[in-house]
Amino acid sequence: MSQAATPAASISPTDSPSHGRSGAALALAALGVVYGDIGTSPLYTIKTIFDPATGVPLNPATIMGAVSVVFWALMLVVTLKYVVLITRADNRGEGGIMALLALASRTVADRPKLRARLLLLGAFGACLFYGDSVLTPAISVLSAVEGLEVATPALKPYVLPIAVAILVGLFAAQSRGTAAMGRWFGPVIVLWFGTLAAVGAWQIVQAPEIVQALDPRHAWRFLSERGWGLFLAVGAVVLAITGAEALYADMGHFGKRPIRLAWSVVVLPALALNYAGQGALLLREPAAVANPFYLSFPPSLLLPAVALAALATIIASQAVISGAYSLTQQAIQLGFLPRMAIVHTSAHERGQIYIPAVNWILLASVVLACFAFGSSSAMASAYGIAVTGTMLVTTILTYFVVRKGWGYPAWIAIGATAFFAALDCLLLVSSSVKVLDGGWFPLAVAATLLGGMTTWKAGREALSKAAKSEMPPLADFASGLPAEGGFARVDRTAVFLCAERGVVPQALLHNLKHNMVLHQRNVVLTVVFEEVPSVAPARRVQVEDLGNGFWRAELRFGFMEKPNVPDALALAAALGLSVDLFSTSFFVSRETVVPRSSSAMARWRQKLFAAMSRNAGRSVDFFGIPPNAVIELGARVQL
């Protein structure tokens, strides 16, 4: 209904509750959900670095250098930036770019123009994540199934249809929830990382000189010798760190300590061993560059490896799909997207949701990407832009948290931001070199979504401004009504949902105009979504008795919460407003947006906003109001 900035809560680092689960159990669960994406990167990273399009020659020096660059990218970007630093910037235990955006925007609440720019920047970063949500399932599953053609070249024509079939099955199963399948995520990913480590170690034993790649001088030499080809090479190296955002986005579900534990003890060692193992294989058998991951396995284990890789990529895809649902929910409640039907697939875990509209749009986009690119190698050029763009936005937003929220000295905040921003810019520019070869795809997705998000937010703000100027003040209206006579009073309670505070809702005015009646008790209710993940029960409801049978009520929810108006209103009894659902009617205005020529919004944006408004989900469903207690009244509003 509405969104409001609130006084900044504590933004010092905190860890989210573990809900009674041990650190080891949470770390195991985090392996499946958080690290599935980055854990499947060895399937295609080394192969892409030595793709003919990058111009990197295949010789012992470049093999050593490539492995060194990958290792230090994991250390600097993932370990130092995300695991050590970014996970400290939590919003009351929650992570992810929307949570970070809410946190950063609160630190500049006294500077409206800067806050507006940050909101736009954060929205763009969120839109890039949607591009990642399309490409991650496509490239992961394709790269896993491509192992079939390594085992038997005759199966090559079937790789794409098999991959698409797996993806269709995965998206079709989303409505059933992930709880049943989720129990297997951790054990399967543990087996996956164990396999990565074992195969990598086996290859290293056969060419132990590859351990010299730990020396960062090999990475520097590799990069400095590339010339202008540096950007092509680094654009391929980016594939090794895709999925780094996931460990921050899912921090609210597991806490920073289990995520750090899983990375340090399992994920980083397994990835380092596997990348080094692929390098060792190439030192011995340069011809294995066709697919160094699968050719690292003994021939007898190749088909089991393909099966395990397929399971791992399904898990990686599930994580990013679930992330798209969570991001959409947060964007809706922060005012960037219209209401959509949200299905909660678990009675115990708040994060397990399913959004049908997002699911089917994602599926169509993923299948389209598979057929358009045809192979994981072709898709790799498009993959990095979305990831590195989101990383750069995260770095910029984190500066405001470190400097304004935590109060760190300027030289520390600026120095750290400059270092990581320079690194992110190098990765982003390197990924952007192949814009014409497919990099345009995630940018087009992000630009389309950003246009929709900004249009929706601007439209709602325009309607809010119009409502405040055209609707009479609620307090004056209530006090101006005669205590007796005037209108007939019905011995029931009416709750009028109103997006704006302190004004008379149109539904109430329409009810008076057409029915000429008032209820004995009239509650004008505003629902506010705050820029925090959750709101304490003590702050959930505020009520004010305006006299003459009128009450003003305000319900507050966080952007990670499922709003339920009847349950929240029950808390008002302790404040003197007792609402009996059996004798209460909820009045809702169903708005029809009418564009007008004098509006500040462009004509095409007015039409887009009107279309989004028509197709928005019903507020009664979104707020958990019983349908048989609702009266909807139409209202035409102009932008």
Residue ranges of domains in the chain: 21-458, 472-638
Residue with more model confidence, 570 or 12: 570
Fold of the 21-458 domain: Amino acid/polyamine transporter I (1.20.1740)
- Could you tell me how many helices (H) and strands (E) the chain has, helices first? 25, 9
Q: What pairing do the DSSP bridges indicate for beta strands 343-344 and 517-530?
A: unpaired
The pLDDT value given to residue 14: 38
The pLDDT value given to residue 346: 62
Alpha carbon 251 to chain centroid distance? 12
pTM of the model: 0.80
87 pLDDT higher than 90: no
The pLDDT value given to residue 12: 35
Nearest to 10, CA basis, from 330, 395, 403, 405: 405
Alpha carbon 32 to chain centroid distance? 17
Beta bridge partners of 551: 523, 545
Residue 508 host element (H or E): helix 506-515
Measure the CA–CA gap between 267 and 264, rounded to whole angstroms: 6
Q: In the predicted model, what is the mean pLDDT of residues 1-27?
A: 45
Alpha carbon 577 to chain centroid distance? 38
Measure the CA–CA gap between 338 and 457, rounded to whole angstroms: 9
Over residues 126-141, the pLDDT tens digits come to: 898 888 888 889 988 9
Q: Which residues contact 76 (CB under 8 A, 6 or more apart)?
A: 423
Identity of residue 320:
V
569 pLDDT higher than 50: yes
414 pLDDT higher than 70: yes
- pLDDT-derived band at 221, boundaries 50, 70, 90: very high
Average pLDDT in the chain = 85
- pLDDT-derived band at 252, boundaries 50, 70, 90: low
352 pLDDT higher than 80: no
The pLDDT value given to residue 182: 60
* Contact indicator for 36, 322 with CB cutoff of 8 Å: no
- pLDDT-derived band at 180, boundaries 50, 70, 90: low
The pLDDT value given to residue 4: 38
Measure the CA–CA gap between 507 and 588, rounded to whole angstroms: 6
- pLDDT-derived band at 350, boundaries 50, 70, 90: low
Task: Mean pLDDT check: name the lowest of 2-16, 367-381, 489-503, 610-624.
Answer: 2-16
Per-residue 3-state assignment (H helix, E strand, C coil) for 215-238: CHHHHHHHHHCCHHHHHHHHHHHH
Measure the CA–CA gap between 93 and 26, rounded to whole angstroms: 15
Q: In the predicted model, what is the mean pLDDT of residues 302-313?
A: 91
1 pLDDT higher than 50: no
Q: In the predicted model, what is the mean pLDDT of residues 534-554?
A: 91
Q: Which residues contact 521 (CB under 8 A, 6 or more apart)?
A: 492, 493, 494, 549, 551
Task: Mean pLDDT check: name the lowest of 400-409, 462-471, 494-503, 612-621.
Answer: 462-471
Residue 180, judged by CB atoms within 10 A of its CB (0-12, 13-18, 19+), counts as exposed
Task: Mean pLDDT check: name the lowest of 86-100, 236-250, 265-279, 531-545.
Answer: 86-100
Which segments of 92-234 are extended strands (E)? none
* Contact indicator for 196, 270 with CB cutoff of 8 Å: yes
- pLDDT-derived band at 203, boundaries 50, 70, 90: very high
The pLDDT value given to residue 9: 31
The pLDDT value given to residue 386: 83
The pLDDT value given to residue 362: 93
The pLDDT value given to residue 292: 95
* Contact indicator for 202, 370 with CB cutoff of 8 Å: no
- pLDDT-derived band at 59, boundaries 50, 70, 90: very high
Measure the CA–CA gap between 12 and 563, rounded to whole angstroms: 27
